[in-house]
Structure 1
Amino acid sequence: MTETIVGLGVSPLEIPVLLGAVALVLARWLPAGARGPVTLAGAAAVVPAGAALIALGVRWQLVPVLAGAAIALLFAVPPLLRRRTGRPTRRAPWWLALPGSAACLGLVAAGAGAAWMFPRPVFPEPSGRYAVGTTVLQWTDPDRPETATSDPDDRRTVVVQLWYPARKSPADAERAQYLGRTAQEAHVVSRGVAGYLGIPGFLLDDAPRARTHSVFDAAVADGGGRFPLVLFSPGLGGVRTQNTAWAEELASRGYVVAALDHPYDSAVVTLADGRTVRTRIRATGDPAEDERLAAGWTAVRAGDLSFALTQLGRLDRGEIPGSLTGRLDTGRAAATGHSLGGAAALQAARQDPRFAAVINLDGFPRDPDPQPFHQPALALTPPVDPGENPDYIPRLTQVLTLSTAAGYRITVPGAAHLTFTDAPLYLPPVPALVGSSGRTAGPRLTAAASAAFLDATLRSKPGDLATLLSAYGRLTVHPAGKEPGAGESARPDPAPDAARSGEPVPAGAHRLR
């Protein structure tokens, strides 16, 4: 099926069904001379397009539209056929036809609204000079036990998806499916994420059917040089693919992005042996206990990031076979993450000096013993209401000012917690949920700001970084070594009007960032 049109949520094949259904319903109320042509035009649009949709697989959003169109056909076409054969026509009285027409229009409107609220994601075209390849790896750390299970022999395993600069693939090369390596895995992940969020699984059924701009196992780009690394940890319960648009944009600009699934934390992880591991994280509702638990989860994730960097070094040296051997610059690596993953990135940078930079996408720092670290740091946040979240900005400021390099915080106007992920591409455009900047603006801005920061810190690209970053929102700079309270950013963000969604958690659970 063709991709949906950004902003409408329907594909070109679905548009004739929508328009034809409306025409069939309204034909009953037109003058006699126009009634026949409009009915024929509506039927000519609905029947072939509807048959094609049924053959290709109807999205759940279009089921009400097809039902409304079918009902309208049953009442609109027979009178037209009788007239053409010379038989007397019988029309339902207006008082009976009016509620029927309203019901049909209601079905069509409900389907169109559902398609707009839950569209199939259309990923922004990467703007860099490289095509993008992707591959999935699985690594087990023999030195770390798996604390989420009771098996003393169980060792910590992570699933890592790489997006990397690639040669241009043939035009007919199949693009990678969103959320998984296979249709089955993508569907399992989609249902797992929906279950974690506490919403019916079918609402996200379009997401795993989307295609990205990557090609699985595409040939690595020519040139022989090494690419800087960007390691990414998703949000609490998040999955490795939750920032695919961001990862593809960075890969097209010459970075290798390594995004992690954290088993027993991510909503659902499919392992190489076919096992499906679901989250075991549960909030208690006790703020003090949840703070302690979150610190533990963050520490595990920070360890996962460092382990993944070690494995990428082995991959570069050829100790792990792969097409990226000799192409990974582990000396230029950034720890990044969203929400709890952003907190893990900050902690990983503090604990592991191999990381050269850190990006935190709206994550509340969870390190119980924050210490100075040497990496430049970037934090992206929505406007924060101090009355709703009084500790967030002061805590983030405290950590950023501990860096011996400069720290940058961008307050992004109109953003929400999920603005910095792929969520605006396929979740309802509710400002409190995904922000108010539209379907693609949030992912594009997140990638552009990240790229500007990474170009300066990992590639030493010339230019004033503060000036570049100020283009993406209200910038606060924490000069190296400045103590909390000594600058303009040691107070809570004064913007009181922005909604905060908090970290997605199971229904009824205490919200954690």
Structure 2
Amino acid sequence: MRQILTVAAGLAVLTASACSAPTPPRSAVPSATPTGPAALPTPTGAHPVGTTALYLTDTSRPDPWDLDVDARELKVTLWYPTEQRDGERAPYMTPEESELMLKGLGITGVPSDRLSKTRTNAIKDARPAGRKLPLVVLSPGFTKPVSTLTSLAEELASRGYVVAGIDHTYESYATTFPDGRVAECLACDSDSDPGFGTGLVQGRATDVSFVLDRLPSTWDGADLIDRSRIAMVGQSIGGASAMAAMVKDSRVRAGINMDGTTYARIPKSGFSRPFMFLGSAQHVPGGPAPTWDRDWKLLTGWKRWLVLSGAEHQSFTDGPLVEGALGVKPAYGVLRAARAAELTRTYVAAFLDQHLKSRRQPFLDKPSSRYPEVMFCPTACGQS
């Protein structure tokens, strides 16, 4: 669950434990000469992409991590279609957020603002375009800001979705608010407590419901959103939170868990809304992370369990795309960054197109020669 940077046998890869208790980050240094700043892949959809940030305050509850704060503050980043093709590209993160994230990961030997220089594709504060578009909620892994899912968010927006990425305050290395305050990871001090994962996903589910309540009245472009077509996608604990949010809130019609151990329990009577597991080899049937085996039996509607050969925990995020800029050399046999991004974006978008836009995607029904890395579990997927 907690993302860490490991260096083993002379090879370094961005990875994370998806199991019950997060592990503190180990110190690490780059294993190769860093390149210049990274650039995220160009979205493949028909629309230019705009982005903006909202700051919402839930006065109905105290913050779960800072007991001195009597309201829950959230930053929500929106990505959406626009007709505007020129303008200032949105920053990936601030220099201070970059510094705190590199410190948390144990990365040394590169400028502290290196991640903030990552080139994005979305135009800052561009005017939204379109009408009655599906909404996709994104939730990142523990310790990571939602900006680590920017490549996926930009892709979905270019294909005609509004994307709302939630930074769950005090659960990542850094979240910056408009007055300059930087909320660091207070939850990191509690990650070994009993029941931590269960409490975390329930808190995130409450964050999601609050955002869905407030978004129509706080964003000028909210008229674009078709509130009858909402899905949630998350990575690691964010993926686990997708199931928690769906169990809690019937407005979320479909969900994807990308490589996250699950904590929210599905009702014993079953769960019929569409759901997809998309993971690495640790989530093969009978593998070291067995919660998908348990949950699969209780999913009674449309469902898929896909494992990407050669993927690791960060393959579903921007992590591999920025490794070169940090001087991190991928381990032998790990799925290449560009291919991992292509597969993630392709299968996530296909799932959403089928279940939010009623566009059938035949390659979700069986293995495809175009994507031989994708294994269909549990029947055609052996433990590796």
- Structure 1 residue 158 displacement after superposition: 1.0
CA distance in 2 between counterparts of 1:346 and 1:201 reads 39
| 1:174-323 → structure 2 map (5 Å cutoff) | 174-179=88-93, 186-200=94-108, 202=110, 205-221=113-129, 223=130, 225-282=131-188, 289-290=193-194, 292-312=195-215, 315=216, 319-322=217-220
Partner of 1:352: 249
Identity value in percent: 33
Question: Is 1:495–2:379 an aligned residue pair?
Answer: no
After superposition, the Cα gap between the structure-2 partners of 1:373 and 1:309, relative to the gap in structure 1 and judged at 3 Å, is: farther
CA contact (8 A) 1:268 1:276 kept: yes
Q: Look up the SS of the partner of 1:453 in the other structure.
A: helix
CA distance in 2 between counterparts of 1:112 and 1:366 reads 35
CA distance in 1 between counterparts of 2:111 and 2:316 reads 21
CA contact (8 A) 1:128 1:249 kept: yes
Partner of 2:330: 430
CA distance in 1 between counterparts of 2:149 and 2:82 reads 19
CA distance in 1 between counterparts of 2:298 and 2:238 reads 19
Question: Is 1:454–2:352 an aligned residue pair?
Answer: yes
CA distance in 2 between counterparts of 1:267 and 1:210 reads 18
CA distance in 2 between counterparts of 1:488 and 1:369 reads 22
CA distance in 2 between counterparts of 1:267 and 1:376 reads 32
After superposition, the Cα gap between the structure-2 partners of 1:201 and 1:297, relative to the gap in structure 1 and judged at 3 Å, is: farther
Question: Is 1:340–2:254 an aligned residue pair?
Answer: no
Q: Aligned residue pairs: how many?
A: 348
CA contact (8 A) 1:416 1:431 kept: no
- Structure 1 residue 280 displacement after superposition: 1.0
Q: Look up the SS of the partner of 2:341 in the other structure.
A: helix
CA deviation string 1:53-96 (max 9, x = no partner): xxxxxxxxxxxxxxxxxxxxxxxxxxxxxxxxxxxxxxxxxxxx
CA contact (8 A) 2:95 2:112 kept: no
Partner of 2:3: none
Question: Is 1:412–2:312 an aligned residue pair?
Answer: no
- TM-score w.r.t. the length of structure 1 is 0.63
After superposition, the Cα gap between the structure-2 partners of 1:204 and 1:400, relative to the gap in structure 1 and judged at 3 Å, is: farther
CA distance in 2 between counterparts of 1:283 and 1:429 reads 30
- TM-score w.r.t. the length of structure 2 is 0.83
Q: What is the Cα-based RMSD across aligned positions, in Å?
A: 2.6
After superposition, the Cα gap between the structure-2 partners of 1:345 and 1:321, relative to the gap in structure 1 and judged at 3 Å, is: closer
Q: Look up the SS of the partner of 2:187 in the other structure.
A: coil
Any runs of at least 4 consecutive aligned residues in structure 1 with deviations exceeding 6 A, and if so which?
Answer: none
CA deviation string 1:151-207 (max 9, x = no partner): 2x611111000000011323xx2211212xxxxxx1111111112223338456322
- Structure 1 residue 495 displacement after superposition: 3.3
After superposition, the Cα gap between the structure-2 partners of 1:130 and 1:281, relative to the gap in structure 1 and judged at 3 Å, is: same
- Structure 1 residue 275 displacement after superposition: 0.8
- Structure 1 residue 442 displacement after superposition: 1.2
For 1:176, the aligned partner's letter is: A
For 1:415, the aligned partner's letter is: A
- Structure 1 residue 464 displacement after superposition: 3.0
Partner of 1:439: 337
Partner of 1:509: none
- Structure 1 residue 209 displacement after superposition: 1.1
For 2:350, the aligned partner's letter is: A
Larger Rg belongs to: 1
| 1:35-50 → structure 2 map (5 Å cutoff) | none
- Structure 1 residue 369 displacement after superposition: 6.4
CA distance in 2 between counterparts of 1:242 and 1:166 reads 22
After superposition, the Cα gap between the structure-2 partners of 1:201 and 1:228, relative to the gap in structure 1 and judged at 3 Å, is: farther
CA contact (8 A) 1:231 1:258 kept: yes
CA distance in 2 between counterparts of 1:455 and 1:386 reads 25
CA deviation string 1:13-64 (max 9, x = no partner): xxxxxxxxxxxxxxxxxxxxxxxxxxxxxxxxxxxxxxxxxxxxxxxxxxxx
User: Which residues of structure 1 form unaligned runs of 5+?
Assistant: 1-110, 180-185, 478-486, 497-513
CA distance in 2 between counterparts of 1:446 and 1:204 reads 29
- Structure 1 residue 337 displacement after superposition: 0.6
- Structure 1 residue 378 displacement after superposition: 1.1
| 1:383-422 → structure 2 map (5 Å cutoff) | 383-384=281-282, 390-392=287-289, 394-422=290-318
CA contact (8 A) 1:177 1:209 kept: yes
CA distance in 1 between counterparts of 2:188 and 2:123 reads 36
CA distance in 2 between counterparts of 1:386 and 1:453 reads 20
After superposition, the Cα gap between the structure-2 partners of 1:376 and 1:386, relative to the gap in structure 1 and judged at 3 Å, is: closer
For 1:247, the aligned partner's letter is: A
User: Which residues of structure 2 form unaligned runs of 5+?
Assistant: 1-29
Question: Is 1:154–2:70 an aligned residue pair?
Answer: yes
- Structure 1 residue 214 displacement after superposition: 0.5
- Which of the residues 130, 133, 136 maps onto 2:47? 130
Question: Is 1:167–2:83 an aligned residue pair?
Answer: yes
CA distance in 2 between counterparts of 1:370 and 1:238 reads 29
CA distance in 2 between counterparts of 1:201 and 1:301 reads 34
Bigger fraction of residues in strand? 2
For 2:158, the aligned partner's letter is: S
Bigger fraction of residues in helix? 1
Partner of 2:33: 114
For 1:295, the aligned partner's letter is: T
CA deviation string 1:244-272 (max 9, x = no partner): 11110110000011111111111111112
